[in-house]
Amino acid sequence: MPRDDDYAVSGDVKLFDLYDKDPELADKIIFGRVADKNRRGFLKGAGLATMGAIVGAGIPFHANMPAGFVPVAMASNHDPMMGKDAITILNDRPVNAETPAHMLDDDITPTSRHFVRNNGIPPEDMNAGTWEFTVDGLVDNPMTLSIADLKSKFEVVTKRLTIECGGNGRAAFDPPAKGNQWTYGAVACSEWTGVRYADVLKAAGVKSNVIYTAHVGADSHLSGDETKLPISRGVPIDKAMNPNNLIAFAQNGNDIHPMNGAPLRLVVPGWPGSCSQKWLKRVYMRDVVHDGPKMTGKAYRKPGYPVAPGTKVPKEDFEIIEEMPVKSLITFPETGVNLPAGQDSVQIRGHAWAGDVEVSSVELSIDFGVTWIKADLQNPVNPYAWQRFSQTVKFPTKGYYEVWARATDSRDRMQPFAIAWNPKGYLNNSMHRVAVMVA
């Protein structure tokens, strides 16, 4: 291990401190020259030697590191816990928990590894045999249906559908945004069985003046006030009529997990997971944009234009989040992996998804984005299922590497390196990075 003295410049001055005070001088000390203006001070308070000591290896492509860069190996902070197969609890009232990226490698996310996003307290009674829900509002034929009614009156279908929390990735925002500090794991692609939401709405006879749906669950408000709902969101009627939306009563061939909305929930893929109401009790049709809890103010909204980090945005400039952005996740290898001596290549694999459309390509980089390697990309098994990508990459020499992944969707929208900051910390689709040590 290097000593503290190894980072001394002169006397009591350390490179670690010098980058804060004089980044040009620090660059000159490390590189023997002043870095260009876009790279100046890129070590963000840590010298290259310090970085190497922390990650445990030299960094072959260090000259390619972008401004303000911090190695992903310096930021890993997973603490697996809880009986739901070692997912990471973010808070317990309400319960919210995510899944480490390397545990999301399955094409079909196991129920035990599906993230949990609650806004209130789940209901105590989740009896599928007695459960009923209502379809009313601006419809010709209001209905109250049991799960048995759904199975007997409508076609039952099974689909793999990706659900992602709108705040997935919020932990990386700088300055920080309030809310659950999700890293990467508030996403899943389970196999859901139910009936098409659109079929039920058609049977109810949606009136011509309907523009929005409203969803109500059986969960209770954290305050205990029975007159309050913890969340009640909806979607435009055109989105509701998408044939891939389900009123689901099974998850991966079994009953839905209680924390994932048992015994009945909506699955509205491609849009924030908050649209997929859990413990579903009622949907009603409206001739105005729904204004239930978490639909107004700044909840699940972003500014209608790009803003600089830390900008205060007027409330009236926020827009409801609809389609989720293109995104990819490396699920193998686990970040921080040490390749054994003599191994200089590894298969990279993961998943990509893209709101209401498909992913058209995924690329990988091992040199901090200077060059890119095209990954093999599978087609989705059905619309809104995530897509598997894989590629074997070879590392040119020993040291610390980062594998970056970027996806591009069928509308040519590509994942960025930097976060598109917004006050509420939504829609972070910056490139996923994993650390690899080559012995």
pLDDT tens for each residue of 238-267:
999 999 999 999 999 999 999 999 999 999
Residues 171 and 212 in one domain: yes
Cα dihedral: 15, 17, 19, 24 (round 10): -70
Report the domain count for the chain: 3
User: Which pairing describes strands 318-320 and 359-365: parallel, antiparallel, or unpaired?
Assistant: unpaired
User: Does 129 map to a domain?
Assistant: yes
- Domain contains 330: yes
Residues of the chain with pLDDT below 50 are 1-16, 19, 27-46, 76-83
Instruction: Please give, one letter per residue, the 3-state secondary structure of 76-87.
Output: CCCCCCCCCCCC
- Asked whether residue 81 is domain-assigned, the answer is no
Q: Are residues 199 and 130 in the same domain?
A: yes
Residue 80 lies inside a defined structural domain of this protein: no
Examine the domain organization and report whether 37 and 111 are in the same domain.
no
pLDDT for 92 equals 81
The predicted pLDDT at position 56 comes to: 58
Cα angle: 252, vertex 255, 258; to 5 degrees: 110
Same domain, 155 and 233: yes
93 and 56 both lie in a single domain: no
Of 294, 320, 346, the one marking the end of a domain is 320
Residue 353 lies inside a defined structural domain of this protein: yes
What is the per-residue pLDDT for 82? 38
**What pLDDT score was predicted for residue 48?**
62
pLDDT at 72: 73
Same domain, 101 and 222: yes
Pair 331, 299 in one domain: no
304 lies in the same domain as 354: no
The percentage of the chain sitting over the pLDDT mark of 90, rounded to a whole number, equals 79
C-alpha 419/C-alpha 96 separation (Å) is 23
Give residue 93's pLDDT.
85
Note the pTM of the prediction, 2 decimals. 0.84
| 82 is a domain residue | no
Domain boundary among 263, 291, 320: 320
Tally of residues, the chain = 439
- CATH code at position 252: 3.90.420.10
Same domain, 156 and 296: yes
> pLDDT tens across 160-207, in order?
999 999 999 999 999 999 999 999 999 999 999 999 999 999 999 999
Task: Report yes or no on 398 lying in a domain.
Answer: yes
Q: Are residues 287 and 266 in the same domain?
A: yes
Cβ contacts of 295-298, under 8 Å, gap ≥ 24: 295/232, 295/233, 295/234, 295/320, 298/423, 298/424
* Same domain flag for 228 and 340: no
Among 301, 320, 339, give the residue marking a domain's end.
Answer: 320
* Closest by CA position to 104, among listed 348, 329, 375: 329
Same domain for 206 and 286, yes or no, is yes
Domain region containing 335: 326-438
> 332 lies in a domain?
yes
